[in-house]
Chains A and B, each alone.
Chain A
């Protein structure tokens, strides 16, 4: 019954024309995209564009008003919480824990969908948890109460907990929001390694550079609808970003990584740009 026994060619996510809202107004409208098994999909867009809602919808927390979300062809709505928990793990934006559980205990929570109501963890559960701690660089914290960790450490522990679920699909909601640049890169390197092992990654990102650097497919949301989607080079452009984020965003090519660099322009540069004295427009895309 463990997730490894169910084969590795799993992890397809199909989001088809999904519309959903919390109250009367729709927050997400007619959103469609798909993530193939072992794909790395980034969802970008301004605050309030519906990124987090899409993540929650894929994890089956709410049912869409219309449209479908399928995991490996099965409608999420027809799966039990436990069945979803064995396939999909979610790393939330932030973890708030009122009780002083240790880091190891928190990571063992990831075994919840695989264990009964009272059962003690077996040796295999501990192995899975330990390897999750190792991969996220949190093994040294194992005995510490989570209430004493920094925001960045808690976030890595949350990723470890998600890994302990042994998911086919890993959903992340701005996982690097509280990480410094080194830990953000380390986290995305780890996600890329997981992708190489066949785990499907769907992540929302605020950091457009990380999106350009790591994602294979980008979904750009604007006010709940898909403004544009496709390869990073097709989506992350001056025109698209400037239109959706409503501020001038300069896009250039990074020659080391061969990926796009995204740079917002400050008010002074925007003013210079618009003054007739400036010779050439720096706001062209590459």
Chain B
């Protein structure tokens, strides 16, 4: 399973995805069994037990770990696909302003919710989706000249969009009353704490649906790494692939931000690590990134809720603290080879 394999075979695909799936299950079990309160897994699943351990496990830990897996997988897939589309390993939902757009959309609905008859838990996902899509559309328009995507302009447009939505969020926050401000900050900081299996299920539905749609573009994404012209000359309908990938990945980012706020670095680092381990073929990279992203975020969130005994650290802090140095290490190690 070294980085260099001459090409992707069905056998290699099954081996890698199978091993990662097993690892993910192990990670879920381990993460669910760790926490500030010690629980006994066997006690928890014993129907004759007192039910305290079972309640902690099934009401708090399992849904939270599963949500982390779904969010991590979604962000990682979006990152892998955006990197391929822009032919740039620096592309990522946060850098491209998609997460910022989603956050602004969500904040706007939190602010407006008090003036509307609808509850915010229904409105916030809609706002996040709309924000993610709108941000992606704006960046896309700015980053394409005469129908051709200009990767560097695109990245810079994303950076600008991110700064702009950041300012807008602060502006909304300044207009909001103290109660709302608290709600907005709490939401923005992000947390994967949930006891709702409905939320977990709908998150998985988004990730699986989006993952399948994007996975089906895998061969086209491979061809697109040669550039748009060469991809078209290899028979790829570039405009349609580009549209599908941008829309679906923005929606996946919107879903992730809606349930968990801003969690950075997952979409940047996970596809990188996965590519280094298993090669750049998107047929393997997209599903493998999903599994690695799930493992990574579940682990990071477990650290976030156990690292300090008095209070929880936001999971985004953990991903950034682990991710930043690791990214720098990869950059240094790979030198000019992959980051020209």
- The interface of chain A, by Cβ under 8 A from chain B, is 22-23, 56, 59-61, 80-86, 88-90, 92, 95-102, 104-105, 108-110, 112-113, 115-121, 126, 142-145, 147-148, 165
Chain B residue with Cβ nearest A120:
B10
Chain B residue with Cβ nearest A99:
B280
Measured CB to CB, the closest approach of chain A to B336, in angstroms, equals 9
**B side interface size, CB within 8 A:** 42
Known: A23-B146, A81-B238. 18 other contacts (CB 8 A): A22-B146, A61-B232, A61-B233, A83-B235, A85-B233, A98-B87, A100-B4, A100-B279, A102-B4, A102-B5, A105-B281, A112-B223, A112-B234, A112-B235, A112-B236, A113-B234, A119-B219, A120-B8
B303-340 vs A, CB cutoff 8 Å, 1 = contact: the mask equals: 00000000000000000000000000000000001101
A81 cross-chain contacts in B, Cβ below 8 A: 232, 235-238
Contact B234–A101 (Cβ < 8 Å)? no
B8 cross-chain contacts in A, Cβ below 8 A: 105, 120
A-B contact pairs, 24 of them (CB 8 A): A56-B229, A59-B233, A60-B232, A61-B232, A82-B237, A83-B235, A92-B230, A97-B225, A98-B88, A98-B225, A98-B338, A99-B338, A102-B7, A102-B279, A104-B6, A112-B220, A112-B235, A112-B236, A118-B215, A118-B216, A118-B219, A120-B9, A120-B13, A143-B6
Cα A81 to Cα B239 with chains together (Å) = 11
Contact A143–B226 (Cβ < 8 Å)? no
- The interface of chain B, by Cβ under 8 A from chain A, is 3-10, 13, 84, 87-89, 146, 215-220, 222-223, 225-227, 229-230, 232-238, 275, 279-281, 283, 337-338, 340
Chain B residue with Cβ nearest A103:
B6
Q: Which of A59, A86, A109 has the most CB of B within 10 A?
A: A109
Contact A61–B146 (Cβ < 8 Å)? no
Contact B233–A90 (Cβ < 8 Å)? yes
Contact A86–B235 (Cβ < 8 Å)? yes
Measured CB to CB, the closest approach of chain B to A71, in angstroms, equals 13
Q: Taking A117-B219, A148-B337 as contacts, is the C-beta distance between A90 and B9 under 8 angstroms?
A: no
B223 cross-chain contacts in A, Cβ below 8 A: 109, 112
Chain B residue with Cβ nearest A87:
B235
Q: Which of A61, A83, A95, A102 is the one whose CB lies under 8 Å from B226?
A: A95
A143 cross-chain contacts in B, Cβ below 8 A: 4, 6
Measured CB to CB, the closest approach of chain A to B6, in angstroms, equals 4
A83 cross-chain contacts in B, Cβ below 8 A: 235
